[in-house]
Structure 1
Amino acid sequence: MRLAYTTAATTAVAALVFLVPLGWSLRDDHRDAAVAEAAERTATVAGALVSGAGEKGVAAAITQAGGVPVVHTPGLAASSGGRADAALIDRAAVEPEPTVEDVDGGVVHLRTVKVGDRTLVVEAFVPDSVLDRNTARDWWLLLGLAVVLVGGAVVVVDRLARGTVDSARNLVDAALAVGDGDLEVRISPSGPRELTEVGYAFNRMADRLVTSRTDERELVADLSHRLRTPLTALRLDAEALDPDDTQIIDLTADEVDRRRGIRRIRTAITTLEDEVNNLINTTRQAVADRVAAEPEDGLCDASEVVRERMMFWSALASDQERQYRVVGAHVRVPVPVARAELAAALDAVLGNVFRYTPQGAAFEVALSRRDGWVALRIDDAGPGIGDPERALRRGQSQQGSTGLGLDIARRVAQATGGSVSIDRAAMGGASIVMLLADADATPKQPSRFGLVGRGRPAKDRDPERRRWQRGRE
Structure 2
Amino acid sequence: MRRRLTLLVAATTVLVLIAFLVPLAILVRQAAADKAVSQATVVLQTIVPLVGNNPDDQLSLSLQGQPVPVSVFTPSGAVLGEPAEQTPAVRLAASNLLAFTVATGSGREIVAPVAISGRGVYVVRTVVPDADLTRGVARSWLVLAGLGLTLVLLGLAVADRLARTLVAPIADLSAVSHRLARAELSARASPSGPPEVREVAGALNHLAGRIQDLLREEREQVADISHRLRTPLTALRLEVESLRDPGEAGRVAAAADSIERAVTLVIQQARRRGGERKSCDATTVVADRVAFWTVLAEDTDRLVRQELPDNPLLVALPADELAAALDALLGNVFAHTPDGTALAVTLRPHPSGGATLTVSDEGPGFPAQALLRGASGSGSTGLGLDIARRAAETGGGSLQVLTAPTGGALVRMDLAAAPLTEP
TM-score, normalised on structure 1? 0.49
1:213 to 207, 212, 215: 215
Query: Residue 134 and residue 86 in structure 1: after superposition, are their counterparts in 2 closer, same or farther (change >3 A)?
Result: closer
RMSD of equivalent CA atoms: 3.7
* Cα distance in 1 for residues equivalent to 2:28 and 2:212: 69
Contact 2:165 2:193 in 1 (8 A): yes
Alignment of 1:26-45 (within 5 A): 26-45=28-47
Corresponding residue number in structure 2 for 1:390: none
Query: Residue 245 and residue 263 in structure 1: after superposition, are their counterparts in 2 closer, same or farther (change >3 A)?
Result: same
Shift, 1:284, TM fit: 3.7
Shift, 1:155, TM fit: 1.6
* Cα distance in 1 for residues equivalent to 2:55 and 2:69: 19
Corresponding residue number in structure 1 for 2:266: 279
* Cα distance in 2 for residues equivalent to 1:76 and 1:65: 22
* Cα distance in 1 for residues equivalent to 2:38 and 2:241: 132
1:136 to 105, 124, 138: 138
State the one-letter code of the partner of 1:176: H
Contact 2:189 2:205 in 1 (8 A): yes
State the one-letter code of the partner of 1:136: A
Q: Deviations over 1:146-195 (max 9, x none)?
A: 22122112222222222333333332222222222222222223333333
Q: Which one has a bigger Cα radius of gyration? A: 1
Q: Deviations over 1:7-29 (max 9, x none)?
A: 44553444333222211210110
Corresponding residue number in structure 2 for 1:201: 203
Corresponding residue number in structure 1 for 2:93: 92
* Cα distance in 1 for residues equivalent to 2:198 and 2:85: 75
Corresponding residue number in structure 2 for 1:111: 112
Alignment of 1:35-74 (within 5 A): 35-50=37-52, 52-55=53-56, 58-59=59-60, 62=63, 65-66=66-67, 68-73=69-74
SS at match of 1:159: helix
* Cα distance in 2 for residues equivalent to 1:104 and 1:169: 64
SS at match of 1:189: coil
Query: Residue 190 and residue 219 in structure 1: after superposition, are their counterparts in 2 closer, same or farther (change >3 A)?
Result: same
Identity %: 29
Contact 2:179 2:187 in 1 (8 A): yes
SS at match of 1:186: coil
SS at match of 2:114: strand
Corresponding residue number in structure 2 for 1:185: 187
1:148 to 146, 150, 171: 150
Contact 2:223 2:271 in 1 (8 A): yes
Q: Deviations over 1:266-307 (max 9, x none)?
A: 8877665554444334434449x8xxxxxxxxxxxxxxxxxx
Shift, 1:245, TM fit: 0.7
Q: Deviations over 1:25-72 (max 9, x none)?
A: 10110110111111111111112334x344476457545854733221
Contact 1:75 1:90 in 2 (8 A): no
Shift, 1:77, TM fit: 6.1
Alignment of 1:397-436 (within 5 A): none
Contact 1:30 1:135 in 2 (8 A): yes
Contact 2:64 2:81 in 1 (8 A): no
Contact 1:83 1:103 in 2 (8 A): no
* Cα distance in 2 for residues equivalent to 1:186 and 1:241: 52
Q: Deviations over 1:309-355 (max 9, x none)?
A: xxxxxxxxxxxxxxxxxxxxxxxxxxxxxxxxxxxxxxxxxxxxxxx
SS at match of 1:111: strand
